[in-house]
Amino acid sequence: MKVQILNKKLQNFTGEAWLVKKGKKHYVVSGTDAFYSGWEVLVFECNKDGEVTNWSDVCGGRGVSHDEAINELEELN
């Protein structure tokens, strides 16, 4: 299912966080330069305002771009 990017400039996150929507669910795609591991992008479930509702990451990882994490999210059921 296609992911729709709603906002590429979410506040209250370290680094760069995007609000996206897949079907009826919203997600934050959050990228940051982690102190020990370098650049990583993780995807979290959130509400329509970009407030994370579950801090268990859905997909993403070290060395992944926002676009790659979104592509991975699109492949999930």
For 32-77, write each residue's pLDDT tens digit.
998 888 999 999 999 999 999 999 999 999 999 999 999 999 999 8
| pLDDT (0 to 100) of residue 69 | 98
Cα separation, 75 vs 8, in Å, equals 21
Cα separation, 23 vs 27, in Å, equals 11
Place 7 in a pLDDT band, splitting at 50, 70 and 90: very high
| pLDDT (0 to 100) of residue 35 | 85
Query: pLDDT of 9-26, one tens digit each?
Result: 999 998 999 999 999 999
